[in-house]
């Protein structure tokens, strides 16, 4: 017996959606995904802490949000508040901390409360690629603010805002990663932070500060967060993805109480996963500083391994600024290179990385850059993977040169 | 020194957002929230299972989605696939199971792929109140399909769809809870399911089947899910919120492979919390049937306690159909009552419940109903809370009668 023909459900899907997701891939040399170092997961401690927490308050799982505040589990919000005070100069009460499913949800919530279709948002010229798709989903566009080695340049931002004003465009907010900028790895100085906030305040521009890499840095005491300098003009987001584990979907948004209430009203997910929250809170309580020191030390060593591998295998072709923290390097190749063209041959060799064009407001401006994550691969994998990538690069170079000669000879012969 | 005046961040919030969230409340008699019975949480077993799972694969937390499929943790997707086969007649492979943050995220994702602003969706005339706010967020409206004691009435749905067609309205999908309907507590028969699918197929109407109460029912073998009867015209969602714990944010969406890929492409949350997933998967593996039997038995006893309390304290004023499962009763009061008017006096007495108007496409049509959740409160709390609610109801009745007399005497005297 033949079954009836199927209902064509896919024909009802609306237009303009993200393309159906491809199957997962596990490349041999994964420099493309912001994974962490598996050896930095405190497996036994985390397992024990989670068990303890569940034994202590597991009964509360019967209630949405464990019967407590919709903001998230209180012990975790207290931990975040105290951590932000000690490490980022931020002074808030736990009720100003909204636990989110990673910092990514924080960006989505801010878009929800600030952005309408057709709006404009200011991004750093190079920034976190995930923020582009989030903005596209919100139906808005971004304009890039110029960066130098100290982050967003206040004078350039001021000019940009004046230009937009002259064109009757009121940007909705500035999305900025001032501490371990993604992808450039720089940390904005205190003076620059003050200048920047003076500009945004003069223009009435709200700020979203993404501080998700601040806990994994190795350049000595960090300047205070923008939020610490003026808590009224900044919404602050952070995450335990880099400092503990990305598969734990635990981040936080911090703001003035009225903004927290508004963000919470838009967070319609029935709460962030409770056992994930309990695991973070119970494990890190009392262990935070030790843990972060170990994570940062290991990541710094890996960043050095990657930079040295680039020096060995790319020589003067690659310029890399030593990152102040984080899990990635931002590599500049000669201006005529388009790293998008290296993606497929690299993939064929089991290597993934982020072409610069995908991390820039103006893709063409960053086409000769690439971002490589170093946290997950072992030092050996970093060495071998970068060596392999260098071969692909050189083969691309000679291919381009051949093309150039062919084009030149074609030009002559016609 | 006085600080500079604050930046007016709230003045940048866009219009039409949900109202800022109020502080959490913990009423004495909470019949309003779909919490579970705290005594049904297998605290020690869950704690041990989670510890075991973390010791076994905690290192993978270093990777987004634990380095596996973006669909969710494989062991959990296998458990879901096998559970759906055994209990709901559904035959799918684990790669057709997308783990979500509760079934609520499943509804959001389906809205994302099917609904544009201004669209119309068919709901059951009485349905899950959370679905209304989700639809409002998507900028769409709902039209209610008539229910009887067997669920959606196919002939009425057919007429409704013809009417809409005549008005050039193409509804985007039917949202339906055929098994332990929320709030009526009915289970649709097999025959009715077949008739219903014939109607939706004839009209080319996609179906979203919300089966999140199917695991907590006590009426003997359930008819197969709609998805089991025609997997091509149904997206199926379910949850562990009712069967295990709502603070574990673990649900699932099940569909044909191309639809799963499209839903996944729209799920931009970096994955569902891994430890929550691990806890569910490791604990329920091998214990599912025993656990669900115990949960269902306990909930049935509580449903009886609530119905008996209503019989004792409301007498003939309240009509309640015995629910086939779930965690709520749907109480019908005399037609002239508006249960919204009982909300504030009840709250003052420490009692919360859901006024019927909030669980209906046409609020006025359900104003004399109310929904009360019985899973969390103890039998004593159910008895006392319903007795208190009856006092409030009678006081409201006499108040209304006084008003009636006053109005009548006013009418006479003028």
Per-residue model confidence as pLDDT tens digits over A101-134: 999 999 999 999 999 999 999 999 999 999 999 9
Q: What is the dihedral of CA B380, B381, B387, B388, to 10 degrees?
A: 150
Interaxial angle between packed helices B379-413 and B288-314, expressed in degrees from 0 to 180 and rounded to the nearest 10: 40
Task: List the one residue out of A24, A34, A108 whose CA is nearest residue B264.
Answer: A24
Distance, in Å, from the CA atom of B249 to the CA atom of A414, rounded to the nearest integer, reads: 68
pLDDT (0 to 100) of residue B404: 59
pLDDT (0 to 100) of residue B19: 84
Select from B112, B271, B279 the Cβ nearest to the Cβ of A247. B271
Chain A positions in Cβ-Cβ contact with residue B173 (cut-off 8 Å): 12
Task: List the one residue out of B232, B324, B217, B252 whose CA is nearest residue B98.
Answer: B252
- Between B24 and A248, name the one with better pLDDT: A248
Select from B38, B137, B259 the Cβ nearest to the Cβ of A9. B259
Say what the ipTM of the complex is: 0.92
- The residue in chain B having the minimum alpha-carbon distance to the alpha carbon of residue A3 is B230
pLDDT (0 to 100) of residue B1: 41
pLDDT (0 to 100) of residue A60: 96
Cβ–Cβ gap A137/B245 under 8 Å: no
pLDDT (0 to 100) of residue B400: 79
Give the best residue of B45, B198, B270 to mutate against chain A (max A CB count within 10 A): B270
Residues of chain B under the 50 pLDDT cut: 1-2, 411-414
Give the best residue of A39, A60, A119, A249 to mutate against chain B (max B CB count within 10 A): A249
Smallest CA–CA separation between B413 and chain A, in Å? 49
Smallest CA–CA separation between A13 and chain B, in Å? 5
pLDDT (0 to 100) of residue A25: 66
Task: List the one residue out of A231, A161, A241, A253 whose CA is nearest residue A203.
Answer: A161
Chain A positions in Cβ-Cβ contact with residue B14 (cut-off 8 Å): 113-116
Residues 6+ apart with CB under 8 A from B408: none
The strand ranges marked E within A286-350 are: 319-320, 328-332
Q: Is the pLDDT of residue A15 over 90?
A: no
Inter-CA distances, A121 with A107, A110, A342, Å: 12, 11, 30
pLDDT (0 to 100) of residue B319: 97
Q: Is the pLDDT of residue A148 over 70?
A: yes
For chain A, percent of residues with pLDDT exceeding 70: 95
Select from B7, B17, B19 the Cβ nearest to the Cβ of A233. B7
pLDDT (0 to 100) of residue A406: 58
Report whether B68 contacts B306 (CB < 8 A): no
H/E stretch holding A104 reads helix A102-114
Q: How many CB pairs under 8 A join A and B?
A: 304
pLDDT (0 to 100) of residue A2: 45
Cβ–Cβ gap B17/A255 under 8 Å: no
Cβ–Cβ gap B46/A63 under 8 Å: no
DSSP for B94-126, written as a single string = GGGEEEESHHHHHHHHHHHHH--TT-EEEEESB
pTM score of the predicted model: 0.94
For chain B, percent of residues with pLDDT exceeding 90: 90
Cβ–Cβ gap A63/B246 under 8 Å: yes
Distance, in Å, from the CA atom of A211 to the CA atom of A225, rounded to the nearest integer, reads: 8
Mean pLDDT, residues A24-28? 80
pLDDT (0 to 100) of residue A18: 85
**CB hemisphere CA count around A32 (13 angstroms):** 21
């Amino acid at each position: 017996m033949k079954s009836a023909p199927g209902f064509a459900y896919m024909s009802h899907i609306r237009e303009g959606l993200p393309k159906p997701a491809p199957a997962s891939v596990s490349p041999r040399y994964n420099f493309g995904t912001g994974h962490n170092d598996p050896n930095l997961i405190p497996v036994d401690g985390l397992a024990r802490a989670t068990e303890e927490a569940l034994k202590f308050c597991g009964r509360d799982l019967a209630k949405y949000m464990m019967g407590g505040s919709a903001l998230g589990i209180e012990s975790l919000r207290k931990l975040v508040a105290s951590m932000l005070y000690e490490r980022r100069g931020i002074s808030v009460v736990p009720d100003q901390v909204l636990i989110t499913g990673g910092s990514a949800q924080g960006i989505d919530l801010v878009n929800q409360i600030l952005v309408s279709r057709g709006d404009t948002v200011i991004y750093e010229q190079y920034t976190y690629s995930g923020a582009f798709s989030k903005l596209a989903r919100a139906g808005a566009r971004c304009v890039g603010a110029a960066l130098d080695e100290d982050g967003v340049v206040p004078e350039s931002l001021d000019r940009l805002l004046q230009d937009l004003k002259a064109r009757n465009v009121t940007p909705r907010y500035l999305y900025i990663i001032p501490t371990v900028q993604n992808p450039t790895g720089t940390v904005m100085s205190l003076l620059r932070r003050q200048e920047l906030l003076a500009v945004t305040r003069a223009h009435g521009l709200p700020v979203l500060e993404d501080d998700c890499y601040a806990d994994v840095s190795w350049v000595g005491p960090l300047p205070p967060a923008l939020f610490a300098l003026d808590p009224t003009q900044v919404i602050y987001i952070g995450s335990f993805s880099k400092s503990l584990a990305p598969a734990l979907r635990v981040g936080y948004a911090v703001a003035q109480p009225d903004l927290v209430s508004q963000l919470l009203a838009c967070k319609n997910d029935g709460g962030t996963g409770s056992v994930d929250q309990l695991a973070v809170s119970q494990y890190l309580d009392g262990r935070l500083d030790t843990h972060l020191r170990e994570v940062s030390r290991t990541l710094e060593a890996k960043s050095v391994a990657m930079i040295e591998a680039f020096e060995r295998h790319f020589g003067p072709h690659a310029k890399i600024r030593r990152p102040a923290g984080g899990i990635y390097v931002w590599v500049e190749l000669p201006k005529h290179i388009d790293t998008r063209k290296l993606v497929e041959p690299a993939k064929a060799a089991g290597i993934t990385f982020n072409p610069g064009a995908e991390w820039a407001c103006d893709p063409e401006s960053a086409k000769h850059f690439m971002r490589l994550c170093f946290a997950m691969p072992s030092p050996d994998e970093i060495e071998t993977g970068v060596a392999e990538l260098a071969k692909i690069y050189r083969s691309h170079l000679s291919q381009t040169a051949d093309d150039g000669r062919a084009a030149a000879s074609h030009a002559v012969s016609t």
